[in-house]
Amino acid sequence: MSEAVNGVLKGARRLPIVPLVEITLNRSAQYFLQRTARANRMVMDNQQWADYVFRLFEARQAEAIHHIVQKFDNNQQSASVITLSTTGQGSRTYVVKLRQQMCSYGKWATHGIPCSHAIQASRHFGMNASNFIPQYFSIRAYKKDISGEI
**Burial bucket for residue 112 (CB in 10 Å: 0-12, 13-18, 19+):** middle
On whether both 65 and 111 belong to a single domain, the answer is yes
On whether both 76 and 28 belong to a single domain, the answer is no
Q: Tell me, what DSSP letter sits at residue 85? A: P
On whether both 67 and 129 belong to a single domain, the answer is yes
Q: What is the pTM of this model?
A: 0.75
On whether both 85 and 22 belong to a single domain, the answer is no
Checking if the pLDDT of 5 tops 80, the result is no
- Domain containing 18 equals 2-46
On whether both 90 and 131 belong to a single domain, the answer is yes
Q: State pLDDT tens for residues 65-95.
A: 999 999 888 888 999 999 987 666 778 999 9
